[in-house]
Structure 1
Amino acid sequence: MSNSASAQAGMRIDDALRRMADLPARDFADLGIRRLLVVAPHPDDESLGCGGLIAAACAVGFPVTIMVVSDGTGSHPNSSAYPADRLRQVRESETLAAAAELGVAPGDVPFLRLPDRFVPTAGPEADAAVLAITSTARSMGADTIAVTWQHDPHCDHQAAHALVTRAARDLPQVRVLAYPIWGLSRPAHERISEKEISGFRLIIGEHRAAKRRAVAAHASQITALIDDDPDGFRLTAEDLARFDRPHEIFLGAAP
């Protein structure tokens, strides 16, 4: 294969994930973040993917908003005890509890309530979501938006990234950082450009405990709280261990 063809083919995502382990380590003070908007596809992604970043920003008094895109009702679609409306309320309550552990007030956690597993990237609902992201970023003066990685093997994670990408076109001064979730454990075998694997590992240090408490607040996702849906989602101990690390990965413009 020629050098040009090799460059066009890029690398497999599972190889890219291994390369992420060698990204430069950074402390929060190195990042230049002063006002942070976190966009989470589902209730719990904010804690799993960037709980340490959120806690670090809040610890120094910087404004943080957590915007949750989907309603979260796809995690247990067959539960009789927790039909969609009740499940949505549970998952939003868990998110508010998790946000509090990280230092974010309830009024700074808006929920867009788009359909879980079917977050759109085009059409009226998507347009409204893009407007919400843009308006929120402007109103809080955000300099950074963190959203899930575009190569995460989950349709809603990819959709959330696409919505932020659209919003960012009208936010030229805002940096977008991507945090992987399922890409860390379920690598796809598509190929991506090597230049996409740039960024840093944020050392979360003293904020790791707050992240653990935030993750634990999502009881419906990590315990048998909802036990009447055999197809219901539940994070395994192995899943949780992947997120309980001394660093978090962020892809995008390195500081």
Structure 2
Amino acid sequence: MRADAFLRAAEALPVRDLRAIVPAGGIVVVAPHPDDESLGCGGLIAEACRLGIPVRLVVVSDGVGSHPNSPSHPPGRLRALREAETLAAAARLGLAGEHVTFLRLPDRFVPDSGPAAEAAAELVAAAARACGAGALFVTWAHDPHCDHRASAAIAGRARDRLGGIRLHAYPVWGWTLPPETEVGGPPRGARLDAARHRAAKAAAIAAHRSQTTDLIADDPAGFRLEPAMIARFTERHEIFLEVAP
């Protein structure tokens, strides 16, 4: 199925409440980079916190690839900033910092196999065990970013360790795929109505100031989320695709 048709169909998936998507247990959100959790799952995290459902957030990469040439923010300082931004974003969504884990794998070089990937999968599985998770949420395997694809592979390995747990994918950069890209069969899954959490989600995204403003202005190649991208992720619904075993 072409990406354009797939994504149109994903935008028409049935709207379900959180407990229809995850019937029992807690939730683990796996974010390739600091900010992916707010973009793709901000409403999910906020709704789970509202309902008292245990949530764990696992951030896979160190995020230092966003501004690789900044003199003012060398890798160590940039990593600390992006982690602080993530904790601030989590707080906006109602998630305590103690439930956030940073794996600090190298941005742009997250492995999808081998010992480091296996170790990451075990840490994701440990987070799931800690909250009695009924489901994992990770970026879509067709997202056109190597770290997003690798994180999807890591989450799949974590599911293999847990047995029987559900795995859902959320598109982030998938929305930028060339329309003719083949992505497999039609989507299965659901949309979550995140309208009651739109303000909190927008505040969480804005907490990632290094990604949404000119906070770091000394790297001509530095990354910044475009307003249109932010607008897409502050719409009413979040999309969660079922990932078959």
Alignment TM class, shorter chain as reference: over 0.9
Assess if the C-alpha contact under 8 Å between 1:153 and 1:187 holds in 2: no
2:240 is matched with 250
1:190 is matched with 181
Assess if the C-alpha contact under 8 Å between 1:94 and 1:217 holds in 2: yes
Structure 2: give runs of 5+ residues left out of the alignment.
none
Matching residue within 232, 235, 248 for 2:222: 232
Rounded to whole Å, the distance in 2 between the matches of 1:65 and 1:178 is 16
CA displacement, residues 100-127 of structure 1 (integer Å, 9 cap, x when unaligned): 0111111100000000000001222112
> In structure 2, what residue type is equivalent to 1:177?
H
Assess if the C-alpha contact under 8 Å between 1:153 and 1:188 holds in 2: no
- Following superposition of structure 1 onto structure 2, how do residues 165-204 of structure 1 map, counting pairs within 5 Å? 165-187=156-178, 189-195=180-186, 197-204=187-194
Please state how far the C-alpha of 1:232 moved relative to its aligned partner.
0.4
Matching residue within 114, 119, 138 for 1:128: 119
Counterpart of 1:220 in 2: which secondary structure? helix
Q: Percent identity?
A: 55
TM-score computed with the length of structure 2 as normaliser: 0.95
Counterpart of 1:16 in 2: which secondary structure? helix
- Following superposition of structure 1 onto structure 2, how do residues 1-255 of structure 1 map, counting pairs within 5 Å? 11-31=1-21, 32-187=23-178, 189-195=180-186, 197-252=187-242
Please state how far the C-alpha of 1:247 moved relative to its aligned partner.
0.3
- Which sits farther off after the overlay, 73-82 or 125-134? 125-134
Counterpart of 2:110 in 1: which secondary structure? coil
Rounded to whole Å, the distance in 2 between the matches of 1:23 and 1:33 is 21
Counterpart of 2:65 in 1: which secondary structure? coil
Rounded to whole Å, the distance in 1 between the matches of 2:11 and 2:201 is 20
Rounded to whole Å, the distance in 2 between the matches of 1:203 and 1:194 is 24
Rounded to whole Å, the distance in 1 between the matches of 2:114 and 2:179 is 28
Rounded to whole Å, the distance in 2 between the matches of 1:128 and 1:23 is 34
- Which sits farther off after the overlay, 31-40 or 216-225? 31-40
Assess if the C-alpha contact under 8 Å between 1:179 and 1:250 holds in 2: yes
Rounded to whole Å, the distance in 1 between the matches of 2:243 and 2:119 is 27
- Which sits farther off after the overlay, 70-79 or 125-134? 125-134
Assess if the C-alpha contact under 8 Å between 1:27 and 1:204 holds in 2: no
Rounded to whole Å, the distance in 2 between the matches of 1:227 and 1:27 is 41
Structure 1: give runs of 5+ residues left out of the alignment.
1-10
Counterpart of 1:146 in 2: which secondary structure? strand
How many matched pairs? 243
Rounded to whole Å, the distance in 2 between the matches of 1:158 and 1:76 is 21
Assess if the C-alpha contact under 8 Å between 2:25 and 2:132 holds in 1: no
Change (3 A) 1:140 1:92: same
Runs of 4+ in 1 over 4 A off after TM superposition: none
Report which of the two structures shows the higher radius of gyration computed on alpha carbons.
1
